Amino acid sequence: LGFSTANALKLSSSSSSKLPPFSLSRSFSSVLDGLKYSSSHEWVKHEGSIATIGITDHAQEHLGEVVFVELPEAGGSVSKGNGFGAVESVKATSDVNSPISGEIVEVNDKLTGKPGLINSSPYEDGW
Protein backbone atom coordinates (compact mmCIF):
# COMPACT_ATOMS: atom_id res chain seq x y z
CA LEU A 1 0.00 0.00 0.00
CA GLY A 2 1.45 3.35 -0.97
CA PHE A 3 0.90 6.55 0.91
CA SER A 4 0.37 9.72 -1.13
CA THR A 5 0.92 12.11 1.79
CA ALA A 6 3.41 12.51 4.57
CA ASN A 7 2.29 11.28 7.98
CA ALA A 8 3.37 14.45 9.74
CA LEU A 9 4.86 17.85 9.10
CA LYS A 10 6.86 19.90 11.53
CA LEU A 11 7.58 23.58 10.91
CA SER A 12 9.60 26.00 12.96
CA SER A 13 11.18 29.39 12.49
CA SER A 14 14.82 30.06 13.03
CA SER A 15 16.14 32.78 15.29
CA SER A 16 17.57 34.57 12.22
CA SER A 17 14.16 35.04 10.58
CA LYS A 18 12.19 38.25 11.00
CA LEU A 19 9.19 36.31 12.33
CA PRO A 20 8.76 35.61 16.02
CA PRO A 21 9.91 32.11 16.97
CA PHE A 22 7.24 29.44 16.59
CA SER A 23 6.90 25.74 16.28
CA LEU A 24 4.03 23.90 14.62
CA SER A 25 3.54 20.19 14.37
CA ARG A 26 0.63 18.89 12.29
CA SER A 27 -0.34 15.29 11.59
CA PHE A 28 -1.82 14.44 8.22
CA SER A 29 -4.35 11.73 7.50
CA SER A 30 -3.36 8.70 5.49
CA VAL A 31 -4.52 8.58 1.88
CA LEU A 32 -4.03 5.18 0.29
CA ASP A 33 -3.71 4.26 -3.37
CA GLY A 34 -6.53 2.13 -4.74
CA LEU A 35 -9.28 3.64 -2.56
CA LYS A 36 -11.98 6.12 -3.54
CA TYR A 37 -12.95 8.81 -1.03
CA SER A 38 -16.27 10.59 -0.48
CA SER A 39 -16.72 14.19 0.61
CA SER A 40 -18.38 12.90 3.80
CA HIS A 41 -15.15 11.04 4.76
CA GLU A 42 -15.95 7.45 3.82
CA TRP A 43 -13.67 5.30 1.67
CA VAL A 44 -14.49 2.52 -0.80
CA LYS A 45 -12.24 -0.30 -2.00
CA HIS A 46 -13.50 -2.24 -5.04
CA GLU A 47 -12.42 -5.86 -5.47
CA GLY A 48 -14.33 -7.36 -8.38
CA SER A 49 -18.06 -7.17 -7.65
CA ILE A 50 -17.44 -6.58 -3.91
CA ALA A 51 -16.79 -3.16 -2.38
CA THR A 52 -15.63 -2.54 1.18
CA ILE A 53 -16.60 0.71 2.91
CA GLY A 54 -15.10 2.39 5.97
CA ILE A 55 -14.48 5.83 7.42
CA THR A 56 -11.29 7.69 6.61
CA ASP A 57 -8.29 8.20 8.82
CA HIS A 58 -9.18 11.90 8.82
CA ALA A 59 -12.70 11.17 10.13
CA GLN A 60 -11.56 8.84 12.92
CA GLU A 61 -8.88 11.35 13.93
CA HIS A 62 -11.46 14.12 14.33
CA LEU A 63 -13.93 11.86 16.13
CA GLY A 64 -11.44 10.79 18.76
CA GLU A 65 -11.71 7.50 20.63
CA VAL A 66 -14.50 5.40 19.06
CA VAL A 67 -16.56 3.69 21.78
CA PHE A 68 -19.53 2.23 19.87
CA VAL A 69 -20.37 1.28 16.28
CA GLU A 70 -23.88 0.74 14.90
CA LEU A 71 -23.63 -1.78 12.05
CA PRO A 72 -26.21 -2.60 9.36
CA GLU A 73 -27.57 -6.12 8.89
CA ALA A 74 -26.09 -8.43 6.26
CA GLY A 75 -28.67 -9.07 3.53
CA GLY A 76 -29.96 -5.50 3.63
CA SER A 77 -29.21 -2.85 1.06
CA VAL A 78 -27.70 0.61 1.00
CA SER A 79 -28.33 3.56 -1.27
CA LYS A 80 -25.73 6.06 -2.35
CA GLY A 81 -25.76 9.09 -0.05
CA ASN A 82 -27.91 7.49 2.65
CA GLY A 83 -26.84 6.51 6.14
CA PHE A 84 -26.37 2.84 6.97
CA GLY A 85 -24.75 2.97 10.42
CA ALA A 86 -23.21 5.23 13.01
CA VAL A 87 -19.94 5.72 14.85
CA GLU A 88 -20.00 7.02 18.42
CA SER A 89 -16.90 8.52 19.99
CA VAL A 90 -16.12 10.26 23.24
CA LYS A 91 -16.76 13.53 21.34
CA ALA A 92 -19.78 12.88 19.08
CA THR A 93 -21.95 10.44 17.18
CA SER A 94 -21.68 10.52 13.39
CA ASP A 95 -23.74 8.79 10.73
CA VAL A 96 -21.89 6.68 8.19
CA ASN A 97 -23.19 7.39 4.68
CA SER A 98 -22.81 5.00 1.79
CA PRO A 99 -20.88 6.42 -1.16
CA ILE A 100 -22.35 3.65 -3.37
CA SER A 101 -25.54 1.60 -3.70
CA GLY A 102 -25.68 -2.15 -3.26
CA GLU A 103 -26.50 -5.21 -1.17
CA ILE A 104 -24.76 -5.76 2.18
CA VAL A 105 -23.07 -9.16 1.98
CA GLU A 106 -20.91 -8.91 5.11
CA VAL A 107 -20.35 -6.62 8.10
CA ASN A 108 -17.28 -6.37 10.29
CA ASP A 109 -18.61 -7.99 13.48
CA LYS A 110 -15.24 -7.43 15.21
CA LEU A 111 -16.24 -3.76 15.61
CA THR A 112 -19.04 -4.69 18.01
CA GLY A 113 -16.57 -5.83 20.67
CA LYS A 114 -13.63 -3.67 19.57
CA PRO A 115 -14.90 -0.36 18.13
CA GLY A 116 -11.42 1.11 18.65
CA LEU A 117 -10.25 -0.81 15.56
CA ILE A 118 -11.57 2.17 13.62
CA ASN A 119 -8.98 4.33 15.38
CA SER A 120 -6.05 1.92 15.24
CA SER A 121 -6.67 0.47 11.75
CA PRO A 122 -9.25 2.45 9.75
CA TYR A 123 -8.23 0.91 6.41
CA GLU A 124 -7.51 -2.68 7.42
CA ASP A 125 -9.35 -3.98 10.51
CA GLY A 126 -11.70 -1.04 11.05
CA TRP A 127 -13.83 -1.26 7.88
| Whether residue 19 has pLDDT greater than 90 | no
Q: In whole angstroms, what is the distance from residue 77 CA to residue 60 CA?
A: 24
Residue type, 35: L
Tens digits of residue pLDDT in 31-70:
677 899 999 999 999 999 999 999 999 999 999 999 999 9
93-97 vs 66-70, strand pairing mode: unpaired
Q: Would you state the pLDDT for residue 4?
A: 42
Q: In whole angstroms, what is the distance from residue 68 CA to residue 59 CA?
A: 15
- Nearest CA-CA partner of 37 in 5, 73, 75, 76: 5
What percent of the chain lies above the pLDDT cut of 70? 76
Residue 83 burial by Cβ neighbours in a 10 Å radius (0-12, 13-18, 19+): middle
Q: In whole angstroms, what is the distance from residue 121 CA to residue 127 CA?
A: 8
User: Nearest-5° angle of CA 32, CA 104, CA 40?
Assistant: 45
Residue type, 16: S
Question: Is 36-121 a CATH 2.40.50.100 domain?
Answer: yes
Average of per-residue pLDDT values in the chain:
83
Q: Would you kindly state where each structural domain of the chain is located, as residue ranges?
A: 36-121
| Whether residue 98 has pLDDT greater than 70 | yes
Tens digits of residue pLDDT in 27-41:
455 667 789 999 999
